[in-house]
Amino acid sequence: MFRVKALTRYAAVLLACAAPILPLAAQEVSPAPAVSQQVPAGAPKLLVAISIDQFSADIFAQYRQHFTGGFVRLTQGAVFPAGYQSHAATETCPGHSTILTGNRPAHTGIIANSWIDQTVTTGPKVVYCAEDVSKRTAGSRDYVASPVHLLVPTLGEWMKKANPAARNIAVSGKDRGALMMGGHDIDQVYWWKGKQFVTLAGRQLGPTAVAQNAEIDRLLAKGAGEFPLPAYCRRADRAVQAGDVSVGNGHFALKAGEPEQFRVSPRLDRATLDLAVKLVDEQKLGRNTVPDLLAVSLSATDYVGHATGTEGAEMCIQLTQLDLALGDFFASLDKRGIDYAVVLTADHGGFDIPERLHEQGLEKTSRVGPEVSAEALSATLGKRYGLEPKSLILSDGPAGDYWLRKDLDIGLKGKIIDDASAILMTSPFVEKVLSAAEIAATPMPQGSPETWTLAERARASYNPLHSGDFVVMLKRGVVAIPQARKGYVATHGSPWDYDRRVPILFWRKGMTGFEQPSGVETVDIAPSLAALIGLKIPQGAFDGRCLDLDGGVGNTCGVVK
Ligand SMILES: [Zn+2]
């Protein structure tokens, strides 16, 4: 077995894969796919990369039986139900940074949604992953969105580098979703902000985005009724109290003039997909001489998850509507006669609220206690060492990366990290504390992501440029929200598999589908798509590997068996 390097050989293999497979062999290896057309010859003309924010492998498995729309098509393709966002910091920005770069956060530089940069002189020391800090203005609470922190190219950028005619387009409900999938060299990029889709500073909205915003304006002015509750959602349709917040039985009625209700609902995803289809027309995607890339990050599942948890009627309705919206989206592409290939995955998984889990057989889950916070540690250790406690230890939440004040000498830093670790390990909520030195000394993990140690998971999201002085990992089932509040009752971000494991689904018309339950990684997506379009990428550019997407004897990675 060897990897074909020459582009001409790639093309030859792709053409060979496109040829009909011997019926006997096909019958032996898999049942006949429901879509009977042959794979079109040559590379697909459009790559569609979809990320569903917070779409865990667990909820994919839970709702799979109920899907009737777009997911049905995708599950006829190459199905990897145990894809891994293999790193420890399972947040939106790191997760999105892996999908089309083929690199783990250790290499993308996107170690978290936000990190502390003590060299920042304007505004707070917390730096958002998709923010250009150099453009901060004193007194402004807003930030300038940018992919500036992303250290590696995306697939769309590789495609444009190989052929500048290739178009690289991204749309999302979140700026970080669009920018981390699109990268630096991006033809059109839009994300939802407040009441409308917006784009990068200094760019004008195209006519399509203007039209889409006008359509949403009309909906927001009018409002809309509840979504129907499918029969299979009924058992989840029950109010549960999380602190002061009641969740579990929301049906997404949209009050006129309430864009927040629009954002935290299936309507945001449908609007994002509508905009994507309109951009396909405006930008003539898939009609080019070379393949184009359309990245779509759908954020509503995450907003619904954070606001209501993963096991209420809200998530059930959200996934039902998302499935239908995806079906309409694919049908729109079909109608245009575009030869496209799709990958669908997620930036991270998710976890339900402890209050409901307690009623459902999972007693060992809770919200994190106050002693894990940087403020609590600063108070204790400031007193112990006679140091000003304010900003002695900094973090962006009660888990993940923590930073020590930068002017401390290295010996004292070491002592404080040891003491912080000893204090934290007495907490019933803490599983492990790792210093940056320990993480940096851990070799980059290899092999199945299921088996990685916690240190290896942390290594995959450690980058010395942005990472903290130590990392705190909460125990499995401990939710990093001390007190539920409206809009934020549940979360993700842990190194545990409920947050790491996501489905990875590939589909192209006529492909021989299959299901492979072993663990693969989201960093495998970019090399797999690159091979599918015959794009030559320099050796060592990816952390991931090419996955053969042909369930039969063909091999989309260009490997001759
Ligand atoms: Zn996310």
What DSSP letter does each residue of 426-473 carry, written as one string? TSTTEEEEEEHHHHHHSPPP-S-GGG--HHHHHHHT--TTT--SEEEE
Query: Could you give the CA distance from residue 46 to residue 196 in angstroms, rounded to a whole number?
Result: 27
Query: Measured in angstroms, how far is the CA atom of residue 16 from the centroid of ligand 1?
Result: 38
Q: How many CA atoms lie within 13 A of 546 on its CB side?
A: 26
CB 164 within 8 A of CB 291: no
Query: Measured in angstroms, how far is the CA atom of residue 260 from the centroid of ligand 1?
Result: 17
Under DSSP, the state recorded for 477 is T
Query: Measured in angstroms, how far is the CA atom of residue 470 from the centroid of ligand 1?
Result: 23
Query: Measured in angstroms, how far is the CA atom of residue 555 from the centroid of ligand 1?
Result: 32
Long-range own/partner contacts, residues 444-448 (CB < 8 A, 24 or more apart): 444/104, 444/106, 444/543, 445/86, 448/518, 448/519
Query: Measured in angstroms, how far is the CA atom of residue 349 from the centroid of ligand 1?
Result: 8
Confidence of residue 547 (pLDDT cuts 50, 70, 90): very high
Handedness of CA 21, 26, 30, 36 (dihedral sign): positive
Give me 479's structure tokens.
């939710």
Give me 550's structure tokens.
């042909």
Strand partners of residue 430: 474
Q: How many CB atoms lie within 10 A of CB 375?
A: 16
Return the pLDDT at 39: 75
Query: Measured in angstroms, how far is the CA atom of residue 274 from the centroid of ligand 1?
Result: 21
Q: Which residues have C-beta under 5 Å from ligand 1, the single-atom ion?
A: 53, 92, 302, 347
pLDDT per position as a tens digit, 222-244:
999 999 999 999 999 999 999 99
Return the pLDDT at 2: 34
Confidence of residue 559 (pLDDT cuts 50, 70, 90): low
CB 490 within 8 A of CB 532: no
CB 209 within 8 A of CB 193: no
Query: Could you give the CA distance from residue 337 to residue 307 in angstroms, rounded to a whole number?
Result: 39
Strand partners of residue 293: 47, 168
Query: Measured in angstroms, how far is the CA atom of residue 173 from the centroid of ligand 1?
Result: 10
Query: Measured in angstroms, how far is the CA atom of residue 53 from the centroid of ligand 1?
Result: 4
Give me 234's structure tokens.
């009924």
pLDDT per position as a tens digit, 128-144:
999 999 999 887 888 99
Q: Is the pLDDT of residue 98 over 90?
A: yes
Under DSSP, the state recorded for 379 is H
Give me 441's structure tokens.
């000394």
Helix (H, G, I), strand (E, B) or coil at 289: coil
pLDDT per position as a tens digit, 200-213:
999 999 999 999 99
CB 63 within 8 A of CB 319: yes
Return the pLDDT at 139: 79
- Which amino acids are annotated catalytic? 92
CB 397 within 8 A of CB 375: no
Return the pLDDT at 560: 52
Q: Is the pLDDT of residue 168 over 70?
A: yes
Query: Measured in angstroms, how far is the CA atom of residue 385 from the centroid of ligand 1?
Result: 39
Query: Measured in angstroms, how far is the CA atom of residue 347 from the centroid of ligand 1?
Result: 5
Rg (CA), the chain: 23
